[in-house]
Structure 1
């Protein structure tokens, strides 16, 4: 009897050890490397029944509803994975990961981060990300144009499998059609309109993602298009030759801005509030369909429409990445693959929640998904796919973002 009890105890110990080994396979540095060699079926089995925490910007209610009301329950049903959305600005996420990296904290609390641009460049440089992993994902292989430059590069930084594309957005202006029957067609007309309608236009601070994008459009126009900015990556010589035109334009419109340009909205949310209250007659954003949910919620007037300037509008791809010390790398991979599925991407495309463009190549979608996409009405405020496509401008090196942040205050704000 004692011998049988001893044998049974030994079996239990071995099973517990095996379970611990399986958990470690998902968590430790060595486990992360071993995970890359596993078949996808094994990864999904590891992820089954686990919890995934996604840290992401939480400033858009439509995006939050998409994650909470569509993604979370459908991910639970498809893979028995519990998704927890944690709202946090990306720079704070990277600060947290940097602190954990310095402290050699091998198991953190973040499984997925929403990231792109300079944040990705910094995260890659300081080795804050796990990977490469994107090529393991079936939906990446099946539905993404993996040869596309906006998938291979993120603001000029080579992706190298450290993040997976989640969506594509394009910068547009929103305006109240009842107050502006015909919006400006170019930057010269925009300048004239601002002067003719003092106080009815402004843009967010250069440190804000949207405000910086507006400034990059002015920079493109001052340089004569993005080509010169793309030729050699970050090029101080090009800036030296064209910076005066950029700053002169911004200084010229400043006295006619909201509150005489003495202060600027800190965030896009602040600018949207001014627009919704009628203090300004235009807002802007890095999502061609963002106005639809705001109109439906009664925040924006029903007469809101969108426009882009003849010089074009910047578009980019944003991504999902896994931190170096994610406690659930298998779960993160399965969740990211789910977020890249045709169903999830089509739900995101609908203006009910988010309304942004897909990361997938429409020509690679299954026939039923292609039909659904063709019949989808994104709303009256959204420009046609043809207009957006013909207006699309590429992003440039993320260092230009930093340059605008560093110089805008001295060259514009303090020159008043």
Structure 2
């Protein structure tokens, strides 16, 4: 998904997209034929670079964010062309259409398909990997992965609870934040105890999207984690075959807390807005004093959709976050070029550019970077709504695994919404 805030969605469902939008690649004359994959020693990076020369590589994913499309076409693509003679073709499609296309080609036995690499995560990654639709493992071939990414990080090892096993390279991180108008609210609640008091003081002016909407599920996860603690909550991130009883044993105190909030929420918790868009509209109209989402609302402030006095905050106990990934199709016709493109995306230069231009949280381990690169990240000027990168990463809680999400939502419905 080529989303503006790198926002991962609960259960691995990519955000809605402008299905079928395709960025035209520059015309080229007589591109050189790539050696057959079997003839390339992918462990030899010089051989990979040589094989990739002159190739056009397709990157499939959500194309609904113009700012990100513009960054890919004006920053990443020119760098790939200039440095490696690789032409990047961005193909914007709904993830379900992408997977239909990939599975159709694989089941038809197409040896060289139309898709090289994909922005993918969660359940979509799991099903593709289980069906042998992905090529790999490949991350060990990438110099920038080996140099700058912590391979033992849980957010690298797992994608919504599914072991990545080198079949995905992380692209960017997203993390929940809460937003408020600093002219109306002088002291935002940064603990779950303070949040409950805040709801009491602003009775009827606080709510959240009904879990099932990925923002709603993420927000209750933040509150549950604040009640039971980060370490306890993160037990949910490694559950691959959870039972309702096992999940309930972990989250019961958090569900009790959420139920206790209900009398102070909008409509006294008798109903909840259906989605995050509805909550956003209610907040913008002044009906609510709090909103939440993956990332800071800096773009909304800059475009005048929210007041300049908008600020962001996170809980001292942390907020949940996830990672987005890139994977290579099993029948990708340009595997070497795909490796080169993915390696460039996770270079310090491109990760810094994503942070500067799109506010995306870097997947790089800052401690592995040279001091000058670490300083470059620290020196990025932030908008008034943005929280410094080091503060976000220090208060980051891994999201529950994909199989846990529907159980958590069911428990919320039974014990909180219908209580």
2:341 is equivalent to residue 335 of structure 1: yes
Deviation at 1:160, TM superposition (A): 1.5
1:87 and 1:395, CA in 2 relative to 1: closer, same or farther beyond 3 A? same
| Structure 2 match to 1:41 | 46
**Residue 23 of structure 2: aligned partner:** none
- State which structure, 1 or 2, has the greater radius of gyration over its C-alpha atoms: 1
Is the CA contact 1:155–1:398 (under 8 Å) kept in the aligned structure 2?
Answer: yes
CA displacement at 1:265 relative to structure 2: 4.2
Name the structure 2 match of 1:264.
273
The answer on 1:81 being equivalent to 2:86 is yes
Query: Counterpart in 2 of 1:283?
Result: 291
The match for 1:145 among 144, 150, 153 is 150
Secondary structure of the residue that 1:264 maps to in structure 2? coil
My pick for the range that moved more, 188-197 or 65-74, is 188-197
Does the CA-based 8 Å contact 2:328-2:335 persist in structure 1?
yes
Q: Please, which moves more after superposition, 177-186 or 51-60? A: 51-60
Q: Once the 2 structures are TM-superposed, how far is the Cα of residue 276 of structure 1 from its aligned partner?
A: 3.7
In structure 2, what is the Cα distance between the partners aligned to 1:172 and 1:221?
14
1:403 to 385, 407, 414: 407
Match of 2:362 among 358, 364, 374: 358
Question: Partner of 2:352 in structure 1?
Answer: 346
Residues 284-317 of structure 1: CA deviation (Å, up to 9, x unaligned): 2233xx3223322323321111111232212333
| C-alpha deviation, 1:323, in angstroms | 1.8
1:49 is displaced (CA, Å) by: 2.8
Asked if residue 304 in structure 1 is aligned to residue 310 in structure 2, the reply is yes
Aligned residues of 1:222 and 1:242 also touching (Cα < 8 A): no
- What count of residue pairs does the alignment treat as equivalent? 386
Task: Establish whether residue 170 from structure 1 lines up as the match of residue 175 from structure 2.
Answer: yes
CA distance in 2, matches of 1:330, 1:124: 20
1:323 aligns with 2:329: yes
Structure 2 Cα separation of the partners of residues 115 and 262 of structure 1: 33
Q: Find out whether 1:154 has 2:190 as its counterpart.
A: no
Q: Residues 7-46 of structure 1: matches in 2 within 5 Å? A: 22-23=33-34, 25=36, 31=37, 33-35=38-40, 37=42, 39-46=44-51
Structure 1 counterpart SS, 2:134: coil
Aligned to 1:383: 387
- Structure 1 residues 102-111 or 166-175, which shifts more? 102-111
What is the aligned partner in structure 2 of residue 238 from structure 1?
246
Question: What TM-score do the two structures reach when normalised by structure 1?
Answer: 0.79
CA distance 1:198–1:228, shift in 2 (3 Å):
closer
Structure 2 regions of 5+ residues with no counterpart?
A: 1-29
Gaps of 5+ in 1: 1-18, 26-30
Q: Which residue of 2 aligns with 1:6?
A: none
**Which SS does the other structure have where 2:386 is aligned?**
coil
Provide closer, same or farther for how the CA distance between residues 385 and 243 of structure 1 changes in structure 2, counting only shifts above 3 A: closer
Structure 2 Cα separation of the partners of residues 274 and 308 of structure 1: 21
What is the CA RMSD across the aligned residues, in angstroms? 3.3
Instruction: Please point out which of 184, 187, 197 is paired with 2:192.
Output: 187
CA distance in 1, matches of 2:104, 2:199: 45
CA drift of 1:410 comes to 5.8
Q: What's the TM-score, normalizing by structure 2?
A: 0.78
Shift of 1:134: 1.2
Q: Are the equivalent residues in 2 in contact too, given 1:203–1:264 (CA < 8 A)?
A: yes
* Closer/same/farther in 2, CA of residues 38 and 182 from structure 1, 3 Å limit: closer
User: In the alignment, which residue of structure 1 is the partner of 2:74?
Assistant: 69
The alpha carbon displacement at 1:334 in A equals 1.1
Q: 3-state SS of the aligned residue for 2:329?
A: coil
The residue that corresponds to 2:202 in the other structure is: 197
